Amino acid sequence: MTKTRNRWLGLVFISMAISLVIIDGTIVNTIFPAIIKDLMLTSTEVQWVQESYVLVFASMLLVWGSIADRFGRRRMLVIGLAIFILASVWAGLTDSAETMIIARVVQGLGGAMVLPTTLSLVNANFQGKERGIAFAVWGATIGGMVAVGPVLGGWLTTVDWSIDLGSVVVETWRWAFAINLPLGILVIAGLLYFVNESKQEQRAGGIDLVGAVLSVVMFGTLVFALIEGRVYGWWEQTDKTFSVGNFVWPENTISVIPVSLIISVIFFTLFVIWERSREKANKNVLLDLRLFHIASFRNGSIAALIISMGEFGLLFAIPLWLQSVDGLNALSSGLVLLWLAGGAFLASAVGGAMSGKISAVTAVRIGVALELVGVAGIAMAASAMDGWQGIAGYLFIYGLGVGMATAQLTGVIMVEVPMDKIGQASGSQSTVRQIGSALGIAVLGTTLFTSTQLATYTNVSELSAFQGVPAAQVEAASQKIADSVVESAGAIIPVLSDIYMSQGMPENLATDFKMAAENGFTEGVKTTGWVAGGFLALGLLSTFNLGARRKESSKK
């Protein structure tokens, strides 16, 4: 009885560990305005503060998942959490863009140690029906915390928590990082007390350092290209120039993005060749490629990649829409996303209750179907007039699906993986999901801003106020407003009428411009929702390959 109680308490602390990492990946989105103002960040620095964490996090998942198999999964989790906490404190104390970026890089390094090892420990410490319940808790935690991050960030930036310590003022946004210190210490203590260590027996050859380097370059360049393709141009350069330190990408050449993708393909080829040679020599490998011979792992990973493309890509658009069109502040827009978090956490209870009664594959299909209903509902119901009330119920359905699909798909992917390979498999499936998410954000981000620009341009140009105005002037005015909406990611919409009225424009025409922009941004969100729904529909179709091999084997 004691052992069972301890394992479940251990799961609580494992879930808390992953919560810290997931929240920190989303909380920055709502505290950015305060950081920009305090540290006086340039647009390039803003980009690197935002993306450096994700870039390092995604590129290092496979490395640390594999090393944890050998080094000790709980030990790696505790070390990663300690690094993450110290980097969080550093980020909270920083007073310059450079140190903030470095702190975010170190945070990503620590976070990459945490995510795959939490999954490995869940897989190692639970069996049978209990494993399904544990995965449900783990998956619902991830789905829920994606929504909780913006709420916490909005709260910390809306409520005045500044403390005057003589000549030092601790700004509001810094608490978003500092909060990780006491929580992290509590989690580490719980992990050490309630979670047993787990590792594989060592093989010859030491740690696969060459494979690690090849992997980091391969995934780092791929994720960079997927995230930044819209910014720098998928082939031709945009007016945004890529630079790192003193290095500036040369002008009058192709964009940095196709070069980054080519480097990723080259290093992928080298990685496969290297890993196969190590495996033939019976030496430790970073990723045992024979894992992809396991039908559940291979098919599940493909399904996870496709589903991730549609799963969270829409979430970056919804807070922008709520603040720009519905007029909510950061806290209020975050609170709306609690409908999603509520659905995800309810999925934990539902998933636990259904464990053993329906197959994990069936639960995945139900979850993805619910996600599809939720996203399609958002695409249909989003309205500048109805605001958040029109989409709240669909966010709940969407969250319920995310909680079910994330947890149970993880179980399907990992179910036939040998125990000595679970760290590699955990890192691999986590990396696949991160790449799918990055690809989805790249595609959906382009969809949002492209469709918003077109819809806003059309709406403005069709205003009756332009009757009798020369076509060239109409086009110029429409293009100017559409460009300003896209360049500000919708932030200019609430003050658009005030800007034009301050320039002497009649109130009714300025209001018409604002309404045209609101409807244009709403159309962009609706289009983005339909594209996300398309990815989820493909993901649902891909789940029909799951479990087939096992059924055939059982019949034989």
Q: What single string gives the DSSP state of each residue in 166-183?
A: TTEEE-GGGHHHHTHHHH
Range name among 198-207, 311-320, 379-388, 431-440 with the lowest pLDDT average: 198-207
DSSP letter, residue 236: B
Is the pLDDT at 65 greater than 70? The verdict is yes
Indicate if 391 and 409 belong to the same structural domain. Answer: yes
pLDDT tens digits, 472-497: 888 888 888 888 888 777 878 888 88
Indicate if 254 and 297 belong to the same structural domain. Answer: no
Percent of the chain with pLDDT over 70: 87
The CA-to-CA distance between both ends of the chain, in Å, stands at 39
Mean per-residue pLDDT, 330-352: 78
Give the residue from 439, 451, 433 showing the smallest Cα distance to 529. 451
Is the pLDDT at 204 greater than 60? The verdict is no
Range name among 135-149, 299-313, 456-470 with the lowest pLDDT average: 135-149
Range name among 38-52, 85-99, 171-185, 300-314 with the lowest pLDDT average: 38-52
What's the pLDDT band for 240 if we cut at 50, 70, 90?
confident
Q: Which residues contact 494 (CB under 8 A, 6 or more apart)?
A: 323, 324, 327
Q: Which domain holds residue 236?
A: 203-283
Last residue of a domain, one of 165, 186, 202: 202
Higher pLDDT, 220 or 312: 220
Indicate if 167 and 299 belong to the same structural domain. Answer: no
The pLDDT score that the predictor gives to residue 1 is: 36
Q: How many domains does the chain have?
A: 3
Indicate if 279 and 308 belong to the same structural domain. Answer: no
Last residue of a domain, one of 253, 283, 313: 283
Last residue of a domain, one of 144, 176, 202: 202
Indicate if 328 and 441 belong to the same structural domain. Answer: yes
What's the pLDDT band for 419 if we cut at 50, 70, 90?
confident
DSSP letter, residue 347: H
What's the pLDDT band for 260 if we cut at 50, 70, 90?
very high
On the 0-12 / 13-18 / 19+ scale of CB atoms within 10 A, 99 is: middle
Range ranked top by mean pLDDT from 24-38, 129-143, 267-281, 355-369: 267-281
CATH code at position 487: 1.20.1250.20
Range name among 92-101, 154-163, 329-338, 395-404 with the lowest pLDDT average: 154-163
What's the pLDDT band for 263 if we cut at 50, 70, 90?
very high
The pLDDT score that the predictor gives to residue 43 is: 58
Mean per-residue pLDDT, 512-533: 92
Give the SS3 label for residue 163.
strand
pTM comes to 0.76
Average pLDDT, the chain: 82
What's the pLDDT band for 77 if we cut at 50, 70, 90?
very high
